Amino acid sequence: MKWLIALVVLLIIGAVLGPAASGNAGYVLIQFAGWSIEATVVGLIVVVVAAALIAAVAISILRRLLSKTQRGAAWFSNRSDRKAKQLYEEGIRLLLDDSAEAASLRFASSYKKRPIQETAAMAALASCLANDTGKAQYWHEEAGDFAKGSDTLLSILKVSQQVNNDPHSADTAVQELLDKHPNSAHVAFLAKTAYKASGNYKALKDLLPKLKQHAELSPAEFERLEYDVYLDYFVSIGRNGNDALKDAWQSLSSKQRGDATTRLAYAAALKHLGEQELSAKVILKGLKREDIHPSGVNALKLFNGKYAKLVEFVQEKLKQNPDDKDYLYAFALIAMDNQDYSLAQRALKKLVDVEPNAKTYRLLGDAYYALGDSQLAANAYKQALAD
């Protein structure tokens, strides 16, 4: 019907434009096998277009008639199925090529030609990977029983968007996902993102054992994550006062308090909250019990001179081994904290003789700068860049 309407419209336009252009119409003469056809340019265009439309209408009518017959219906059905299969396979290849959005379009076209639930499920998967929640929801519903109970990716996608829009409300949704899919790495890492966004550090701390189960993080990456989580957890509690922070620390098991990462995070939180002496006490206890290593304390610059017993402990270690690079650096940090830059500079000069590296040269440059020797400070900084 639409072709007939288009044909009528074009013929009307031709009938109007033909006479209007007759004053300067331009003519076309066609001669073939003794036949001659003479027409205006406008008239010829109208005739050609009309002929094409008539042919299209005739083909459409013929297709309809053929589809009414058993053989014709089978032919058209097979043709549609072949095209649907081709589009479906293209969609899979696009998924493998990490082109989820294009794959979603192929699956949608395939479903239009052959509406089966399996194709709708693949379209739902592609839409999830393309982060298109609306399409993913639609295709998941179209998949019906085929996708029943298999909505983890869709749920993750919904909660991910909720984390961005309303992180506090996302906590409840992500907890439901954790309960429903306790072994899913994707859900666990989504929970990490959600809890961090909402500032729910207690839940994030409790999530750490689950995150450790998955191989997505290397041991070093997990250790760093664990430190960051505990640091944020202790700082958030410490804002309610030292008693609350102490209670949180004591509530941990002896094994957790003996863990190097946890103890360092606790000491760093105390330092962040201005409790330098308490931080030094925690460090000293960890060093004596050998729960932590001085190199880890140095890396976080947690040595300070606010607790005399820690200073004495470091000095005693250096008496036992004057070339101990870790305690030399620790002694330099303590001297810098006490603003004894001359003592720090002497310790660092000895350290660069024992083990020169960029970190030591940078601190040496800081000591020289504090002493007012800009030239030596510049030389130390240059050496740090060279290393």
pLDDT tens digits for 214-267? 767 788 888 998 999 999 999 999 988 889 999 999 999 999 999 999 999 999
Q: Is the pLDDT of residue 213 over 70?
A: yes
Q: What's the residue count for the chain?
A: 387
Predicted pLDDT of residue 198 = 86
C-alpha distances out from residue 322 to 115, 145, 284, Å: 79, 74, 19
Q: Which of residues 106, 128, 150 is at a domain's end?
A: 150
Tell me the percentage of the chain whose pLDDT exceeds 70. Answer: 80
Mean pLDDT of 165-186: 85
48 vs 32, higher pLDDT: 48
Domain contains 104: yes
197 vs 44, higher pLDDT: 197
Predicted pLDDT of residue 75 = 45
Domain contains 58: yes
Residues spanned by the domain of 89: 82-150
- Reported as a single tens digit per residue, the pLDDT across 290-337 is 999 999 999 999 999 999 999 999 999 999 999 999 999 999 999 999
Predicted pLDDT of residue 19 = 55
- Reported as a single tens digit per residue, the pLDDT across 86-142 is 888 999 999 899 899 999 999 999 999 888 899 999 999 999 899 898 899 999 899
| Sequence letter at residue 278 | L
C-alpha distances out from residue 277 to 257, 265, 290, 356, Å: 18, 15, 20, 30
Domain contains 20: yes
Domain contains 310: no
Q: Is the pLDDT of residue 15 over 50?
A: yes
Predicted pLDDT of residue 4 = 55
The number of distinct structural domains making up the chain is 2
CA distance 83 to 288: 74
Write the DSSP symbol of residue 217.
S
Tell me, rounded to whole angstroms, the distance of Cα 94 from its chain centroid: 21
**Cα-based angle 320, 322, 324 (whole degrees, multiple of 5):** 95
- Reported as a single tens digit per residue, the pLDDT across 367-386 is 999 999 999 999 999 999 98
Domain contains 364: no
Q: Residue 260 in contact with residue 293, Cβ under 8 Å?
A: yes
Q: Residue 3 in contact with residue 60, Cβ under 8 Å?
A: yes
C-alpha distances out from residue 280 to 259, 263, 268, 295, 335, Å: 17, 11, 10, 15, 14
- 64 and 90 together in one domain: no
Q: Which of residues 102, 133, 150 is at a domain's end?
A: 150
Domain contains 45: yes
Query: What is the dihedral sign for C-alpha 47, 53, 56, 58?
Result: negative
> Could you please report the per-residue DSSP string of 242-272?
HHHHHHHHHHS-HHHHT-HHHHHHHHHHHHH
Predicted pLDDT of residue 113 = 87
CA distance 263 to 56: 80
Tokens read off for 303? 């040595």
Domain contains 113: yes
| Sequence letter at residue 158 | K
When mean pLDDT is compared over 73-82, 121-130, 163-172, 262-271, the highest value belongs to 262-271
- 17 and 41 together in one domain: yes
Q: How many CB atoms lie within 10 A of CB 314?
A: 23
Predicted pLDDT of residue 212 = 85
Tell me the percentage of the chain whose pLDDT exceeds 90. Answer: 45
Residue 7: pLDDT band (50, 70, 90) is low
Predicted pLDDT of residue 76 = 47
Host H or E run for residue 31? strand 27-32
Q: Is the pLDDT of residue 210 over 60?
A: yes
Domain contains 54: yes
Q: What is the CATH number of the domain that holds 98?
A: 1.25.40
Q: Calculate the average pLDDT of the chain.
A: 84
Q: Which of residues 150, 172, 188 is at a domain's end?
A: 150
C-alpha distances out from residue 276 to 90, 222, 238, 260, 303, Å: 63, 27, 14, 19, 9
